[in-house]
Chains A and B, each alone.
Chain A
Amino acid sequence: MILSLQKRHRQIWTVFAIVLPVLFVMSYFYIPAQPINPATTDYSLFPMIYNEKEDAKFKIIERKLELEEEIKYQLQVIVKEPIRESSTLIYISENDKITDKIPVGQVFSKGSYTLKILDPLQKNDRVIFYNPITKKIFHRL
């Protein structure tokens, strides 16, 4: 490099040595953060747990509600991880034959869903996760 370019080189890097680190630090520390909204549901409000089971993706809580003279059963389905299916219906069945059965409900995004059931779950009953679009069972619990 000839002398004028050497001088230019020094000038450029002297300016860079000041400007780049300052902008670098600023551009990292001023990254706008993703804001968090308060949670809406406090599950501890529903203590009457009758039965529960869970795996990595879902948690099932069965509740028995004794209301006046009536006893009602609820199935709380907690979707722990986003479901990677286009549609999800919930069935209760002791085997995979669900075509003649009526679904207890559907679930969507990660979160908690309360479904009303008529009878308590039997010993061999499983909660079946069925995709009506692909017509496939994709999960059992």
Chain B
Amino acid sequence: MLGLMVLFLAIFIGVSLALFGDKITGETLIIRATGALAITMLHVILIIGPLARLNKKFLPLLYNRRHLGVTMFLVAAIHSVFSILQFHSMGDTNVFVSLFTSNGDYFSLTGFPFQTLGFFALIILFLMAATSHDFWLNTLSPKIWKTLHMFVYLAYAMLLFHVMLGVIQLEKSPFMVILLGIGMIMIIYFHLKAGYRQAKMGKLREKIELAGFVQVCTPEEIDENRARLVEINGQSIAIFKYEGKLSAINNFCKHQNGPLSEGKFVDGCITCPWHGYQYLPDNGSSPPPFTEKVSTYHLKLIDNEIWVNPNPEPEGTHIDAILIS
């Protein structure tokens, strides 16, 4: 990744100097190179998530996303510091006051003070980078952490228009607009596709309920060492088939709420696709010395149909796996 970034900067700076070296100033070059790199990196970062959801083979990229995000924040920070110094410092007003007051066209689209968009996006990126360590994930709880990190979508929207209402108004190049447009369409498409696929996955064809149990599917419909996801009464349940047995645990990994139903039964444990956290299928607990625990659910097999009780047992409760005859 670092190699790619260096390659990007080398090409951008090299080509800029070769074509406009007699005109472009050092500050402009730094501001433009880091801005261009940051927006390119943001596209890669935002595509990785849904891509890994749609095709499991992209999961290794997910492991690199956090580093990429922190690095992108640093690149954007360089862009911001230079821009603030270049455009606002050594003047008659405090730089931050100037940032918000030098352009007052807040009610205009094309006149909108685009620098403020960059400023707020940078704050989001900063909060994400600052809380990127697992310490914060545990401290804030995965739900709050993930919610905070979903603000990256807002940051993307702001940065898209930071570019569109900023440099694009001067360098009206249609090529840059087309590139940004393609990026926007791809990001929206993949996120929607992954999102709606997710919603469809846990849906039952029809809800047949009997004595607190809900009919799901036949064991043949689940691949060996894999799971079927069902969503009933707000519960997201992963039913795993392994070693001729069936077990059901809560779908959400305790680490980052990764989808365990998209994981695999490896070495006697259900393994999360996101970062490889593991849980024993019959009690939803991580093998010692780890302490993560998820809820478990009761299953029944009647006439080769799997039935699940959507009322969760307390996290880590042992429930005997049911045998597929």
Task: Verify if A35 is at the interface (C-beta below 8 Å from B).
Answer: no
Task: Verify if A134 is at the interface (C-beta below 8 Å from B).
Answer: no
A6-B199 contact in complex given A28-B168, A30-B109, C-beta closer than 8 Å = yes
Q: Does B236 contact A2, Cβ atoms closer than 8 Å? A: yes
B residues near A, CB below 8 A?
Answer: 109-110, 142-143, 146-147, 150, 153, 157, 160-161, 164-165, 168-169, 172, 177, 180-181, 184-185, 188, 191-192, 195-196, 198-199, 231, 234, 236, 252, 257, 259
When the two chains form the complex, which single residue of A1, A5, A14, A26 contacts B109, counting CB atoms closer than 8 Å?
A26
Q: Does A27 contact B109, Cβ atoms closer than 8 Å? A: yes
Task: List 26 contacting pairs A-B, 8 Å CB cutoff, sorted by A.
Answer: A1-B146, A1-B252, A1-B259, A2-B142, A2-B143, A2-B236, A3-B231, A5-B143, A5-B147, A6-B198, A6-B199, A8-B147, A9-B150, A10-B192, A10-B198, A12-B150, A12-B153, A13-B195, A16-B157, A20-B188, A24-B180, A24-B184, A27-B165, A31-B110, A31-B172, A32-B110
Task: Verify if A47 is at the interface (C-beta below 8 Å from B).
Answer: no
Chain B residues lying within 8 Å of A3, measured Cβ to Cβ, are 231, 234, 236
The answer for the CA separation of A3 and B252 in the assembled complex, in Å, is 9
A-B contact count (CB 8 A): 79
Given pairs A6-B195, A9-B191, 10 additional interface contacts (CB within 8 A): A1-B252, A2-B257, A6-B198, A8-B150, A9-B150, A13-B192, A13-B195, A24-B180, A27-B168, A30-B109
- Considering the complex, give the chain B residue whose CB is closest to the CB of A7: B199
B169 vs chain A, min Cβ distance (A): 5
The answer for the CA separation of A12 and B192 in the assembled complex, in Å, is 9
Q: Does B110 contact A2, Cβ atoms closer than 8 Å? A: no
The answer for the CA separation of A93 and B87 in the assembled complex, in Å, is 46
Against B, the Cβ 8 Å flags (1 = close, 0 = not) of A17-55 are 100110110111011100000000000000000000000
The answer for the CA separation of A8 and B143 in the assembled complex, in Å, is 12
Which residues 85-139 of A sit at the B interface, judged by CB distance below 8 A?
none
A31 vs chain B, min Cβ distance (A): 5
Which residues 45-83 of A sit at the B interface, judged by CB distance below 8 A?
none
The answer for the CA separation of A77 and B180 in the assembled complex, in Å, is 45
B264 vs chain A, min Cβ distance (A): 19
A residues near B, CB below 8 A?
Answer: 1-3, 5-10, 12-14, 16-17, 20-21, 23-24, 26-28, 30-32
Majority DSSP secondary structure for residues of A touching B: helix
A56 vs chain B, min Cβ distance (A): 14
- Considering the complex, give the chain A residue whose CB is closest to the CB of B112: A27
A86 vs chain B, min Cβ distance (A): 16
A24-B181 contact in complex given A6-B198, A9-B150, A13-B191, C-beta closer than 8 Å = yes
The answer for the CA separation of A28 and B146 in the assembled complex, in Å, is 33
Q: Does A1 contact B257, Cβ atoms closer than 8 Å? A: yes
- Considering the complex, give the chain A residue whose CB is closest to the CB of B236: A3
Q: Does B192 contact A14, Cβ atoms closer than 8 Å? A: yes
When the two chains form the complex, which single residue of A8, A10, A24 contacts B164, counting CB atoms closer than 8 Å?
A24
Q: Does A27 contact B153, Cβ atoms closer than 8 Å? A: no
Q: Does B110 contact A30, Cβ atoms closer than 8 Å? A: yes
When the two chains form the complex, which single residue of B142, B160, B257 contacts A24, counting CB atoms closer than 8 Å?
B160
A26 vs chain B, min Cβ distance (A): 6
When the two chains form the complex, which single residue of A10, A27, A31, A32 contacts B195, counting CB atoms closer than 8 Å?
A10
- Considering the complex, give the chain B residue whose CB is closest to the CB of A8: B150
The answer for the CA separation of A16 and B161 in the assembled complex, in Å, is 13
A13 vs chain B, min Cβ distance (A): 4
- Considering the complex, give the chain A residue whose CB is closest to the CB of B259: A1
Chain A residues lying within 8 Å of B169, measured Cβ to Cβ, are 31-32
A35 vs chain B, min Cβ distance (A): 14
- Considering the complex, give the chain B residue whose CB is closest to the CB of A17: B188
A10 vs chain B, min Cβ distance (A): 4
The answer for the CA separation of A17 and B142 in the assembled complex, in Å, is 27
Give the top 8 A-B pairs by smallest Cβ distance, nearest first.
A10-B195, A13-B191, A27-B164, A17-B188, A30-B110, A13-B192, A31-B169, A2-B257
Chain B residues lying within 8 Å of A27, measured Cβ to Cβ, are 109-110, 161, 164-165, 168
Q: Does A9 contact B110, Cβ atoms closer than 8 Å? A: no
Q: Does A28 contact B198, Cβ atoms closer than 8 Å? A: no
The answer for the CA separation of A12 and B146 in the assembled complex, in Å, is 14
